[in-house]
Homo-oligomer: A and B are copies of this chain.
Amino acid sequence: MTGTTSDESGAFVEQFEIGPYATGALDGLSFSVKDNIDLAGRPTSFGSPSWRDAHPAPLYNAVCVDQLLAEGATCRGKVVADEFTYSLDGESHFYGTPRNARAPDRIPGGSSSGSAASVANGLVDFSLGTDSGGSVRVPASLCGIWGLRPSLHRISEAGVLPFMPSVSTVGVLANSLVALERPAKVLLKSTGRAVPDVSRILYLQDAFNVADKPVADAALNALERISGASGVSLEAVSFAELVGYDAPLSMCNEAALRNLQTIEFESVVGNWIEAHKPELGFVFSMAYGNVKNFDRVKQMKCLALCEKLFEDINAGLPDGTVVCFPSTPVVAPLKGSLTTLEAVQDFYNRTMTITAFSGVGRFPEISAPLLDVGGIPVGLSFAAGHYKDEFLLKAVGKLVR
């Protein structure tokens, strides 16, 4: 691949070799593990040295790790996670900024920053990450590799540090669609049940509108090529048309998911932070200040809105349908460019306007490294209805191969 050494990649917290336990569907594949997923005998940091030092090393691997080792894959090490996985930029105060292999002067995206960098720098075939607000899809998009956020809770989270139980998933980042599919089917425990063929591609106009114009143009061009080559129809759809009433895509983030994430983060991580007063990185401290000042009781109604959006979006995504959009509204920002409040808010608000769509929908999304804007990679996302993970994998295989 790029010939980057592991040290130059900045991806790894620690390198070692575990397994495989047996031969199986993943023979010959190597993987890395994000540092909020347990590896036996090695402390899990959750992206925070204070957390790492306050918790004993786990005795068991996370279930998702053992699934891979039992099917023939080899674990090559533990990779960097953003602090408490609460970031989309991949610039860790404690563990540094893993190298964006195809755009080394730019951020890799986070919070699965080391997962993306270990794959994109050619050091492993795939990586286990986690995704709440985009933590698999954003680094996959910005580093130009494949990324899967599966349907909510389709992959076991036992031994994975809890983040936001109603939102978070384990996901996979990989250097090819085959290297994504093979571990995905093991982790999803895919049964081989027949799934329909893809019969319709929708493109979500609101997401194109929020993206930079070169990104939106590249995405639409790619979809037109894909539609032409595959013979599958391509139709524009607005978020309002999808759900059946007048509402903007931004509602998914601003009124729903963002508040739910804050509420759940308080209950899961906030309790620990308040009791232990750990050392916090500057950027996380700023974000956490917003969490602490949040009125959770007033925002309880966001839970009902999340449920309603889940039902309404999925009603618009019947069998055979995939919905497409740029995975991120921008290519990777230059390192050091997210230094003003305005820049940070623009990056997060626009990115999460797109990523919250699958978060609220609880459905699978694959970020495919199909776009190039002036030599810089960015992802094109394909999503399908809740629990239609195997359909989505098959559809992307047909459309992209």
Residues of chain A having any CB pair with chain B under 8 Å: 21-22, 38, 56-63, 66-67, 69-70, 152-153, 156-160, 162, 164-166, 188-191, 193, 263-264, 266-268, 270-271, 274-276, 296-297, 300, 303-304, 306-308, 311
Contacts and interface: CB of A to CB of B under 8 A. Distances in A.
Nearest to A275: B56
A133 to B, nearest CB: 15
A161 to B, nearest CB: 10
A300 B67 contact: yes
A58 B266 CA distance: 10
A191 B267 contact: no
A297 B267 contact: no
A296 B159 CA distance: 13
A34 to B, nearest CB: 16
A190 B310 CA distance: 11
- 9 tightest A-B CB contacts, nearest first: A159-B267, A56-B275, A189-B307, A158-B264, A158-B267, A157-B165, A70-B300, A189-B304, A58-B271
A259 to B, nearest CB: 11
A57 to B, nearest CB: 8
Most buried by B among A22, A38, A58: A58
Given A165-B153, A264-B158, A268-B158, A191 B311 contact: yes
Contacts of A296: 60, 66
14 contacts: A60-B270, A61-B267, A66-B297, A66-B300, A67-B300, A70-B297, A153-B165, A158-B263, A158-B268, A159-B271, A188-B307, A189-B306, A189-B307, A189-B308
B274 A59 contact: yes
A296 B303 CA distance: 36
Contacts of A264: 63, 156, 158
Contacts of A67: 300, 303
A268 B307 contact: no
A267 B300 contact: no
Nearest to A21: B297
Most buried by B among A153, A191, A296, A311: A191
